[in-house]
Amino acid sequence: MMKKITFILVLLIGTFSINAQTKEELEAQKSEKQAAADALTDEVKALQTQIDALPGWKLGAFGTIGGSVSEFNNWFSQAAANNSSGNIGFTVNGYANLIEEKFFWRNNLNVNLGWIKLDDKDNPLDSENFEPNTDVFNISSLYGRNIAKNLAISTLVEYRTTILDNFNDPGYLDLGVGLTWTPIENLVVVAHPINYNFVFAKNDDVFESSLGAKIVADYTREIGAITFKSNFSTFQSYKSGDLSNFTWINSFGYKLWKVVGVGFDFGLRSNKQEAANFQGVLLPKADNKLQSYWLFGLNYQL
């Protein structure tokens, strides 16, 4: 009996030792494979960095799509007890950049469009259509000739307007020359002390073109699954502060699967001419409140 028990114990200990040894061997193999995979990943990133640094066109786009729909029947706690509503919006951030040794040509596009609908079924006079509620269109083209490693003489053309409602009323066209500074990778800073801000609008009592300075800062970065873009653009009029304006647009994206993820966009703007036109007053009397928008939804990258 004692011999059987001893045999069983020896067998169990041996089995445990074999399993433990096998696990250690597998862990060691896993570590080796992981190290090899990490090395390959680093090599791929290094190659991609070299590719990105090569002269030529760089094209890309990303943005956010958001929306919701709802319907209420006999919901008496609200004014419109029977209604259907919905909203949908999307943004596009696109770029086409040509980076050469002696010059560059950077082109950017930002579009943010949104529609909303509230159909009160008990009111036959209300609209059943989706109506525009967000309307932003910005396009710019920056050309520069390098005079130093991170400094260039440049010229900028930038156009801003709405496209769903009141196209080019107002519309802003900036034309200017000056310097462009690229202190770090992905950051572009434009300082143009000579810039003319053409304003197109029907209301000549409020909107006025003028000469001034243009400053733009654009930062675009992709870190792993995260995509980020921030663009700040301001015009400072030499004629009057009432004619100055700025727009700051930010876009964030987090990739979840292939080209799809979640995204968040928000923008800020200050424009006293637009405030005066909306309020129906002259410029000095306008209450220039800070304008803003935000959008959260699905994100895509191309």
pLDDT score of 11: 53
Least confident interval from 71-75, 163-167, 212-216, 270-274:
71-75
CATH 3.40.50 assigned to domain 56-301? The reply is no
pLDDT at 30: 80
Cβ atoms 222, 259 nearer than 8 A = no
More confident site: 28 or 96: 96
Has residue 205 got a pLDDT over 60?
A: yes
- pLDDT for residue 231: 95
Q: Looking at beta carbons, which pairs linking 146-149 to residues 24 or more positions away fall under 8 Å? A: 146/101, 146/102, 146/103, 146/104
Q: Is the pLDDT of residue 2 over 70?
A: no
The predicted pLDDT at position 76 comes to 64
pLDDT for the residue 272 = 96
Per-residue pLDDT tens over the stretch 275-290: 999 999 999 899 999 9
Residue ranges of domains in the chain: 1-54, 56-301
CA distances from 54 to 60, 95, 132, 142, 301 (A): 16, 17, 42, 19, 22
What is the distance between the alpha carbons of residues 112 and 88, in angstroms, rounded to a whole number?
11
Structure-model confidence comparison of residues 137 and 121, the more confident one: 137
C-alpha to C-alpha distance for 235 and 289, rounded to whole angstroms:
17
CB atoms within 10 A of CB 183: 9
**Given a cut of 70, is residue 17 above it in pLDDT?**
no
Largest CA distance in the chain: 111
Residue in the structure block whose two tokens are 């895509």: 300
**Average pLDDT across the chain, whole number:** 86
What is the predicted pLDDT for the residue at 194?
98
pLDDT bucket at 8, cuts 50 / 70 / 90: low
Strands (E), 81-203: 83-99, 103-120, 131-148, 151-161, 171-181, 187-200
Look at residue 123 in the predicted model and tell me its pLDDT: 85
Q: Which amino acid is located at 42 in the chain?
A: D
The lowest-confidence range among 46-50, 71-75, 92-96, 185-189 is 46-50
Decide: 243 and 208 in contact? Cβ < 8 Å. Answer: yes
State residue 152's pLDDT score: 98
Does the pLDDT at position 10 exceed 60? Answer: no
Checking if the pLDDT of 77 tops 80, the result is: no
Cis preceding linkage at 170, omega within 30:
yes
Higher pLDDT pick, 17 / 300? 300
